[in-house]
């Protein structure tokens, strides 16, 4: 299992635009599938699933702002794939740090 973080940014949207509009729609798309677990945070959305499923999902989510009229979309993604410790979840990663504090 891999964990990832994705940020999808609308560009050239004008001074009155709100990113929360397309981010809310992205959250609805995430809720409508069950292959990849997800959690919204202040700088993006964390993902948990197979690397293949995460990349395929990212390709779908990247298109969402276009459907809402955004002219240009910029997506930033990072994906951590510890094949040697495949059971590790997002929560495990946080816990393993907190256990050392």
> Which spans of this chain sit near a second copy (rule: CB under 8 A)?
3-5, 7, 9-18, 20-21, 23-24, 27-28, 39-44, 46, 48, 51-52, 55-56, 58-59, 62-63, 66, 71-85, 89-91, 93-94, 96-101
How many Cβ atoms from other residues are within 10 Å of residue 39's Cβ?
13
Whether the CB-CB separation of 65 and 22 falls below 8 Å is answered with: yes
Least distance (Å) between residue 35 CB and a second copy: 14
Least distance (Å) between residue 57 CB and a second copy: 9
Considering only CA atoms, which of 15, 11, 9, 16 is closest in space to residue 72? 11
Least distance (Å) between residue 26 CB and a second copy: 9
CA dist., res. 84 & res. 98, Å (int):
22
């Amino acid at each position: 299992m891999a964990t990832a973080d994705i940020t999808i940014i609308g560009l050239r949207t004008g001074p009155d635009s709100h990113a929360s509009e397309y981010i809310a729609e992205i959250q609805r798309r995430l809720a409508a599938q069950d292959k990849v677990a997800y959690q919204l945070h202040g700088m993006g959305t964390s993902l948990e699933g197979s690397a293949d499923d995460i990349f395929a999902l990212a390709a779908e989510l990247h298109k969402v702002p276009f459907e809402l009229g955004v002219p240009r979309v910029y997506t930033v993604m990072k994906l951590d794939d510890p094949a040697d410790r495949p059971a590790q979840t997002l929560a495990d990663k946080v816990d393993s740090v907190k256990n050392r504090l």
